[in-house]
Amino acid sequence: MKNNYTHLPVLLNEVINSMKIKMDGIYLDCTFGRGGHSKRILSKLGENGRLLAVDRDIIAVEIAKKTIIDSRFTIIHTSFSRISKYLFEHNLLGKINGILLDLGVSSPQLDDSQRGFSFMSNGPLDMRMDQSQGLSAADWIRKASKEEMTKVLKNFGQEKYAKNIAKSLYYLQRNHNLVLSTTQDLVKVIKKLGKYDGRKHPATRCFQAIRIHINQELEEIKKILEDVFRILIPGGILSVISYNSLEDKLIKYFMYNNSNINQWIPSDLPLNEEQRRKKQRQSHKFMFKISKKIRPSTQEIINNPRARSAILRIAEKISV
């Protein structure tokens, strides 16, 4: 197990400020990673405060247990889409003051070649955040149809050459008995197909797409968003850092569609379909007050280039 990484939490000060941490509050870090955000949250809590952290990567959980010895802290090995079950069992639903979601793959996962997330180094073609379950990327590619691979590469990676890459992967394995077992095996196939503009590594979009599919990342986000109102206390804060347009669109539209922006429609007016949807949202007991999105400063991007695509969105649960 490798744990000697220098980890720079993204938008650290902005996240902490956004969460308006109360000394006796209960907070939920849904993506512990290496604990950069969690440690800062803990530093703001008083002796009666509490922090629950979640990660489906067992390595992250083991590191949390070794590095944070604090009675106010609990680490939970599960996916964040299932956290409401834990909260229900521990009588914590509706009692959380703040939720943090730092989405995507963590730097330690990218930097560990044995995890298979990066196209920059060679290692097993795995890509699972929780290696105790599910298909690895290599197993999925071996079993998937051309149509399924094309759909994944196109929908989750916006890969221009999705059809050609999927076709090549399919036939190389079935007709030539080629087993793709390492990240560089996959990179070599991708590099042979299509022309690239040089601004991005040719494997960037494919690796993102396969990783998102293997880990069901968008479904995970959708599931926890469905539970946010049940989890948060009135006045509670939802802070989410996303790193690609697929994630950010989910967060943006969830917050906007459940916000008090443009919600107030006179009761005596005839309604069209869009207005009826707004009226239905207006009937919610709770909504969000949303804040302006935040991006990393130029200095942070210089210090941590992986922060360059990050977007922080913040919403406060309010009564209506």
Q: What is the pLDDT of residues 20-45, one digit of tens each?
A: 999 999 999 999 999 999 999 999 99
Domains and CATH numbers, the chain: 12-108+217-319 (3.40.50.150), 131-214 (1.10.150.170)
Q: Is the pLDDT of residue 245 over 90?
A: yes
Give the chain's end-to-end CA distance (angstroms, integer): 49
Tell me which of 262 and 259 has the higher pLDDT.
259
**Of 150, 173, 152, whose CA–CA distance to 163 is shortest?**
150
Q: What is the pLDDT of residues 61-82, one digit of tens each?
A: 999 999 999 999 999 999 999 9
Mean pLDDT of 276-286: 56
Take residue 76 and report the two structure tokens written for it: 């939970």
